Amino acid sequence: MAMSKNLARYFDFDKSMCIQTDASVILSEVSSRRQTRRFPVQRSFHRVVFSPYSRHMYLYQRQKQEIYHFQHEFSLEELNVTPAVLIAEVVHFIVRGHSIKDPKCTCRSHLSYSRHLDYGLDIRKVGSPVGGVRTDHGICVLGLVPQPCVSDKDICNELGIESLSLAVSEKQNHRNVHDILMSSGRFAKNTHGLWNLKEMEDVQCENTLLKFIRQHRLGLAVDHPHIQYSRLKIDIRKLVENGHIIHLKSENMLYMMPKVYRQEHCDADIVKLWRKFTPNASSA
């Protein structure tokens, strides 16, 4: 099972019931929306207090206080975690070189909004995806040193899951997290069972740059360490001019241009029918 620190997965509330301070998120007069190991569904709470990065939250009822320690109680389907999400999160974890759950980490999160909350990060760090490479004020204080290898436990701790044998889909329970990562072609395991990124093709030209950008569906930072070569700015400009990528300069990010599907030709009978019912269409 997987863990989530997203309060909205536990309680029914709206903005009027939520107060955010520099240190905590506080909910008032809420009721539980799901059953957990500590409380049933529709249990009322006078107040709920959660601090980012904490492993627990405080639950207050009239004249009673208890601590709820977050546990692995969700399926990946409930959290809407797809194979692509798993792969991207592990890639960024290895490239970043440290856990984004470290309170000292100043990387801007590459995670989606819901995953950001699942991780239990400071909501003020939600930003556009930059792969954990840069911050608003430069390089993360923890540095950017890709880890030479990570263990199964390291990956589980980062993703918030019990085991890599966790099924990705209850409908296809023969595919687990380990299978997804191994079949992605992005990772390799050494003889000690430790994970690392596979050696990547050198990015030294327009074609290899485009191929590398395609591998990063959440976007690629221009200052990513794997694409630093002399003609980078020239090749980015060419790819943008040819409509292959988007360069979001405000965020210093590169994205694949979304595909536009269109029908190039219509059958003759369709054209004839259109002209019949469209005024002044004979010359079209």
**pLDDT tens, residue by residue, 113-145:** 999 999 999 877 654 333 334 444 456 777 766
SS3 content of the chain, % helix, strand, coil (to 5): 30, 20, 50
Domain boundaries along the sequence of the chain: 7-69, 83-197, 200-284
Of 124, 132, 116, nearest to 220 by C-alpha is 132
Q: What residue has token string 């299978």?
A: 179
pTM listed for this prediction: 0.69
Lowest mean pLDDT among 39-43, 144-148, 217-221, 260-264: 260-264
SS3 annotation, 88-130: HHHHHHHHHCCCCCCCCCCCCCCCCHHHHHHHCCCHHHCCCCC
Residue type, 28: S
User: What would the pLDDT profile of 172-189 be if each residue is shown by its tens digit?
Assistant: 556 899 999 998 888 888
CATH number of the structural domain 200-284: 1.10.10.10
Q: Are 225 and 132 a contacting pair, CB within 8 Å?
A: no
**pLDDT tier at 92 (50, 70, 90 boundaries)?**
confident
Q: Rounded to 5 degrees, what are φ and ψ at 42?
A: 65, 25
Strand partners, 197: 187
Q: Are 182 and 188 a contacting pair, CB within 8 Å?
A: no
